[in-house]
Structure 1
Amino acid sequence: MKRIQVAVSALALAAIMSGLAAAEQAQTLEELVRRYDASSCKECHQEIYSQWEQSLHAKPMLGPIGRTLATFQGYVNSRDTELNKSHEVAPGMKEFLKPCVECHLPQMMDASEAVAGEIAKAIVDGDEEVLNTLRITCIVCHNRNAILRKFRDGAPQPNTVYGPKYAGPHGDTKFTTAARSEMLRDTVFCAQCHQGPNVQHYDEPMWCTSTFDSHQHFYVPMGGTESCQDCHMRKDGGHRFPPNYQDPVQTGKRLKEWIDLNLSAIAYRMKPNAKELLPLVVINSEVVSRIGHRFPDGCPSPNRVTLDIKVSSKDGKELYSDTKTYMPQHKLGYDEHTMVYAANRKLTLLRDTSLHPFVSRKETIEVKLPEGVEEAVVEATLTFRQLPGVPEAEFPIHTVRREVSLKR
């Protein structure tokens, strides 16, 4: 009988706590924005705040050149078509948005169903004025999501900001205490969002970013020792968390630093048999990435690195061109083996030609020279195309030229 009473008491307490949690939910969009507003942080942390304002964390619902918004719109608009069973499985918009917002706007899980509906409407309407107020602010990383190992370290306290170094009084009217959390230094902290596919967690699985898995399974086994924070914060990134793809100079600089293109070419006359001479240009290319994870990666499938190889005569006439594509290629997850683009459809890999840490991607190409052509120019251009065909979303990495001649 005593055990039953304890169990009943525990259930009653759980019900009370659940009620309190529901009462603590933000009931309006304005309340949610106000609760996670970090503008007071810039009074003491001006440089950090300015860096954050330039980051994609400051525009997680829009993304670079509106790509994230377009992906969100595709997902929400599919609720009544491709994903129409979602009305049965997840009647509420909050649960429907969960696979996306747990990373793009984790604080939405602290809001009411009505707020989720407002956010969904802003997404469908493309209301950038509203969406620009929904940000992954200082409070998300330094309070709400600051503690990973809650069974060991407890839940984050509402009046406390967490950081990797300082503990003590904190000069803010709301967050009056600062506490040390070692996990903010660790790669796994970033993995809360930049992790593997969320296949096992949601009613509608989708393969999103897998940079953490790649870091653990490719970069570290190959001898890599740097963390996410080393490359994206400590060196020259700060709280911009580069690359953000809206600063072409910085993005290009980082890509040039971390991806190498080696190219060699030779022209010679091959004898396939005793009587013939076959004038050939033989091209050998090698692309090596030292980035700490697979590249490219992420939700929007068009992300790719391309190697464009062109052979021209000395007077500029094109003799040959080809493009090699480096990217993960996914399928829908059913029987049909067709590559899919949309983020909310991607599941298993069909093929992966992306650049993995320290793994050499080599190509050998033979080009037959036309009669009368004895000299040629080989040009190889390596480009990151975040959105192919959109100039502001394409970033040249390297261009290498080699001159070849049959006379040498």
Structure 2
Amino acid sequence: MIGIPSFVIASEGESIHHVSAEVCASCHQDIYKQWKGSMHAQSTALKDPIHGTFYQMVVGSPTEEGVLHKASGKYPICLQCHAPNAAIDKTTKLDAMAAYSEGVNCVACHTLKSYKGIEGKDGKLQLGLKAYDVADTLQAPAGIQDGVGKLASAGDDLFGGAGLGESSQTPNPHLGEPVEYEGQEVPALPMEANPRLMKTSDACMGCHDQRNNPHGVPLCQTGNEYIASGSEVNCLSCHMPIANGIADHSMGGGHDPAMLKRAVVFDVSTEQEGDNLTATVYLKNQLPHAMPTGAPFRNLYIKLAAYDDQGNVVWQNAEGHPAESDPQAYLSYALADDEGMPAPPPTATKAGDDTRLKPHEERELTYEIPAEGVVLVRGELFYNLLWPGLVKKFNHLPTDLTDPVLIAEYEEDVAVN
């Protein structure tokens, strides 16, 4: 993608939305490293090749000022989620400042004050930052709860409130004054507790609930799926688990193989019936949203093969990708035009077939396999970020984004009678 130049990091007196994550890294090094490797840190068209490709198609260059959404002629709605600090300033030149290029950085999330929902009063969706009241102070799950300590220190307590409240001697910009830390000037970054937002799914839904295209066709719709699941376990429980005392800011999702491998229970069983084997592929979506979810071009597919005692494939459910020859093994959300033909997200006028796994859904696929010579049946479940057609079309993308990822496999030994 486009090269990222050096930036000016926000200084005292500038908007908090100009504060780079590099400032936060001074103290929060482990969290910063996790965030730096996350898709939140790669969310802009400068850094995410897939988003960048679509952005160039529907908007234009992310390094030019004043570009507009080509279809609507308005400020690009994409930036409300993918570059929220830039959206606050109504700029489209994302290489002008670190806080813009960093996408969903520390202050982008930690200045969300309250969630208004994505349904606007005019019936239109209000997405990304538009779904929130935004503060000019940092919002935290707990904040600094030192009121009792201050009261004790001001009273006649013999020990001056020792052991209560803020006990660290490290300079802390969250107390409201600029500090010098390890030779660097850190601006005042006052912080207040906001557990109702920062410890709930409200922190996520502005960007991850639902996104429609200009024709009103749902594209991303994770929030609706989550609501349909009836789950009361919030997004943070899976995507920001606590480890070593801190919430994991790598926020794994569709780009994280480890998260993907935990998502689906997958196995294969076989039973001989005369000259055939009946193979049953079992899938269970363990997630409180569809699998896959998010961008509509994400998909799953299943490959099933039978082997002889020499390791040769003697049967398979599909040669190559099963989208055409074994559609039940292809799990995707299709978009269509008025004639029902496949259409890309920006121009689709209606939803097509949705064969993805619904929240917590269990599904079985059955296959009849000639039993002769078969000693093993192997099933594989693959995840892909792009539809097969887009993989061919976007041949400029790196292979780690276009190649399928094996997220589950199961082998069943066959004792043929």
TM-score normalised over the length of structure 1: 0.70
Match of 2:79 in 1: 101
Distance 1:317 1:178 in 2: 63
Query: How big is the shift at 1:138?
Result: 1.1
How many residues are treated as equivalent by the alignment? 326
Distance 2:89 2:99 in 1: 15
Matching residue within 201, 210, 214 for 2:225:
214
Are the equivalent residues in 1 in contact too, given 2:16–2:107 (CA < 8 A)?
no
Query: How big is the shift at 1:64?
Result: 7.9
Q: 3-state DSSP class of the match of 1:402?
A: strand
Matching residue within 303, 307, 315 for 1:308:
303
Match of 2:350 in 1: 348
Query: How big is the shift at 1:311?
Result: 1.6
Give the counterpart letter for 1:255 in structure 2: L
- Taking every aligned residue pair, what percent have the same amino acid on both sides? 18
Are the equivalent residues in 2 in contact too, given 1:60–1:135 (CA < 8 A)?
yes
Distance 1:385 1:88 in 2: 28
Give the counterpart letter for 1:368 in structure 2: P
Distance 2:133 2:188 in 1: 15
Match of 1:111 in 2: 89
Match of 1:230 in 2: 237
Query: How big is the shift at 1:230?
Result: 0.6
Match of 1:82 in 2: none
Which ranges in structure 1 are unaligned for 5 or more consecutive residues? 1-27, 79-84, 246-250, 270-278
Are the equivalent residues in 2 in contact too, given 1:311–1:318 (CA < 8 A)?
yes
Distance 1:133 1:368, change over 3 A: same
Distance 2:407 2:46 in 1: 22
Match of 1:339 in 2: 342
Which one is further off, 389-398 or 290-299?
A: 389-398
Distance 1:253 1:348 in 2: 33
Match of 1:319 in 2: 314
Matching residue within 75, 99, 109 for 1:141:
109
Are the equivalent residues in 2 in contact too, given 1:71–1:300 (CA < 8 A)?
no
Distance 1:75 1:266, change over 3 A: same
Q: 3-state DSSP class of the match of 2:290?
A: coil
Distance 1:36 1:266, change over 3 A: same
Q: 3-state DSSP class of the match of 1:339?
A: coil
Are the equivalent residues in 2 in contact too, given 1:32–1:111 (CA < 8 A)?
no
Matching residue within 199, 204, 207 for 1:190:
204
Distance 2:99 2:88 in 1: 17
Match of 2:368 in 1: 366
Distance 1:87 1:304 in 2: 28
Query: How big is the shift at 1:363?
Result: 0.3
Q: 3-state DSSP class of the match of 1:240?
A: coil
Query: How big is the shift at 1:62?
Result: 4.3
Query: How big is the shift at 1:336?
Result: 1.2
Are the equivalent residues in 2 in contact too, given 1:64–1:244 (CA < 8 A)?
no
Match of 1:295 in 2: 291
Match of 2:143 in 1: 166
- How much is the aligned-residue C-alpha RMSD, in angstroms? 3.5
Match of 1:392 in 2: 400
Are 2:33 and 1:50 equivalent residues in the alignment? yes
Distance 1:321 1:155, change over 3 A: closer
Query: How big is the shift at 1:294?
Result: 0.8
Distance 1:325 1:68, change over 3 A: same
Are the equivalent residues in 2 in contact too, given 1:214–1:294 (CA < 8 A)?
yes
Distance 1:265 1:88 in 2: 52
List per-residue Cα deviations over 1:69-126 (Å, max 9, x = no partner): 1121222259xxxxxx976952xxxx2412x1111112233224xx32x35xx7xxxx
Query: How big is the shift at 1:130?
Result: 8.7
Are 2:59 and 1:76 equivalent residues in the alignment? yes
Q: 3-state DSSP class of the match of 2:335?
A: strand
Distance 2:296 2:15 in 1: 28
Distance 2:226 2:405 in 1: 23
Match of 1:23 in 2: none
Distance 1:261 1:391, change over 3 A: farther
Q: 3-state DSSP class of the match of 2:40?
A: helix
Distance 2:215 2:37 in 1: 32
Are the equivalent residues in 1 in contact too, given 2:21–2:99 (CA < 8 A)?
no
Are the equivalent residues in 2 in contact too, given 1:294–1:355 (CA < 8 A)?
yes
Distance 1:89 1:243 in 2: 30
